[in-house]
Amino acid sequence: MSQLSDVDADLALPPPELRKRVTGTADESLFLTAGAQILRDVRRVFAGVHRSLGAPGTTTLDFGCGCGRVLRHFGPQPSESAKLYGVDIDPHAVTWCAEHLGNLGQFATVDRHPPLPFPDDYFHAVYSVSVFTHLTEDDQLAWLPELRRVTAADGVVVLTVLGRTALSALGPGIAERTAAAGVYYVHDGGTEGLPDWYQTCFHTEEYIRRVWSREFEIVSYLDGAVCRSQDAVVLRPRA
């Protein structure tokens, strides 16, 4: 992985318990390098549809920002040029971001269910890494129209899922259940510090194209596009 930016080196690190919630370990180096790699991958996905993530004059939402693992790598965003926002269900993480990353963007805690605290058609870009991989199907179906609402008509949304790439590395049991249902939510112990409903969810591409297309045009489905482990779904809002 490439070296971290000088900007990131000057930023505070979240406490160990927050790092562990988003990375699975409190290791400082892994937290930083993984976040930087994820942002590079997400930028590459947006570039594939001719969008520059965080471009001047745009608004960007990190849906499920946690303690800023990805967002911290954007670097300073002049408020009059590009606006960056982060939301999460974890009030501890959001409070930490507001106190330590407030020069990068604005942060808000959200509930398990919509709404978001933003007006209609506000964001040019929305990305969400490893969030729909943890929600129940009902919760996902509640958030999809809300994400469409806050995304501009010409905006782009990128959501990651545990799809073909992840399923190919697992035993046949989960893969077969996911293939049969299209979406498979399983209790696997959850994440310390987060609610019990925040578990693990798998998807098939067929399900996403059939169900998510009620709210979005499915632009592309990219196997292993983020950290070679999560598939990326590129979406545009339907009218």
* Assigned token pair, 183: 């979406």
Q: How many residues are there in the chain?
A: 239
Domain spans in the chain, listed from the N-terminal domain onward = 6-237
Inter-residue contact 5 to 75 (CB < 8 Å): yes
- Tens of pLDDT, residue by residue over 2-21, are 344 444 668 999 999 999 99
Its CATH architecture, for the domain 6-237, is 3-Layer(aba) Sandwich (3.40)
Distance separating alpha carbons of residues 178 and 155, to the nearest angstrom? 30
DSSP secondary structure letter of residue 108:
E
Half-sphere exposure of 129 (CA within 13 A, CB side): 29
Only one residue has tokens 């001719």, namely 50
- Tens of pLDDT, residue by residue over 182-220, are 999 999 999 999 999 999 999 999 999 999 999 999 999
CB count, 10 Å around CB of 92?
16
Q: At residue 134, what is the residue type?
A: H
Residue 106, strand partner residues: 85
Closest of 125, 62, 127, 116 to residue 93, by C-alpha: 62
- Tens of pLDDT, residue by residue over 168-190, are 999 889 999 999 999 999 999 99
Closest of 187, 46, 5, 58 to residue 129, by C-alpha: 46
- Tens of pLDDT, residue by residue over 112-163, are 999 999 999 999 999 999 999 999 999 999 999 999 999 999 999 999 999 9
